[in-house]
Amino acid sequence: MMLCNRCGKNPASVHVQTIINGVKTEYDLCDACAHEEGYISMFHPFTSGAGNFVSAFLEGMPWTGTVSKPEQCPVCGWSYDEFARTGFVGCQSCYEKFGKRMEGVLRRIHGATRHVGKTPGWRKPTGDTKLDALKAELEEAIRKEEYERAAVLRDQIKELEKKSLSH
């Protein structure tokens, strides 16, 4: 029976593998240690409280570069520190606000930064050229971190969609 890599006492029950910058790290943990490290709830079928897991990815990642540290998400008020502490973000705009940093986190967790799966109905091309153009413009605004413009564009899109629905 394999022993826990953390305490060295109890039999290991959880196998954990992380890929960080392409480097694989593996641990075998006992139930108690896995719980303390925040893995248990993550691997529960319902996957709550993976916070510590994400925090572990953020540790040892000092804020570097010329970009100043984003303080707070303008929409929900969630701070970057809260994200670093809990591993959770407060709203979808946090992903935009913590953009560059978030990309690093995603690469560390998933080994990828681009979604290739399903798309919800409202984000699929509509065939309405004006609407599709606005949506493309919205993506652009988000990428350039122009939040005010993004908010205006969101409203315009909603307005246009309401009209096309009422027809």
Partner 1 sequence: MDLDTVLNRPWSGWSKDDGPDTDVVLSSRIRLARNLEGVPFPVAMKGEHLTAVMAAAERVVESLNSGAGLGRYSLIAIKDLRQLDRAVLVEKHLMSPQHASNEKYGALILREDECVSIMVNEEDHFRIQTLSSGLQLPETLRLANVVDDAMDRVVRYAFSPQIGYLTCCPTNVGTGLRGSVMVHVPALALTGQAGSVLSAVGKLGLVVRGLYGEGSEAAGNVFQISNQVSLGQTEGDIVANLSGIARRIIDQERDARARLINGIRMQLEDRVFRAFGVMKNARIMSSAEALRLWSDIRLGICAGLIMGIPLAKLDELLVMSRPGYIQRTAGREMEPSERDITRANMIRKLLEV
Q: Which stretch binds partner 1 (CB under 8 A): 61-69, 80-88, 126-134?
A: 80-88
Q: Does 13 bind partner 1 (CB under 8 A)?
A: yes
Tell which positions 6-45 bind Zn ion, by CB under 5 A.
6-7, 10, 30, 33
Q: Which stretch binds Zn ion (CB under 5 A): 19-27, 91-99, 103-111, 134-142?
A: 91-99
Least distance from Zn ion to the Cβ atom of residue 153, Å: 18
Work out which of 14, 54, 84, 94 binds Zn ion, going by CB under 5 A: 94
- Tell me the helix, strand and coil percentages in the chain, rounded to 5: 50, 10, 40
The answer to whether 83 and 98 have CB atoms below 8 angstroms apart is: yes
Closest CA to 104 of 144, 64, 136: 64
Work out which of 8, 60, 120, 127 binds partner 1, going by CB under 8 A: 120
Helix (H) or strand (E) holding 26: strand 23-29
Q: Does 50 bind partner 1 (CB under 8 A)?
A: yes
When the beta carbons of 1 and 23 are compared against partner 1, the nearer one is 1
- Quick one: DSSP state of residue 111? S
- Collapsing DSSP to helix, strand or coil, 93 comes out as helix
The residue count of the chain comes to 167
Q: Does 162 bind partner 1 (CB under 8 A)?
A: no
Closest CA to 17 of 8, 5, 7: 5
Work out which of 5, 31, 131, 147 binds partner 1, going by CB under 8 A: 31
How far is it, in rounded angstroms, from Cα 131 to Cα 125?
Answer: 9
Residues that bind partner 1 (CB under 8 A): 1-2, 11-17, 19, 24, 26, 28, 31, 40-51, 53-54, 75-78, 86-92, 95, 102, 105-106, 109-123, 139, 142-143, 154
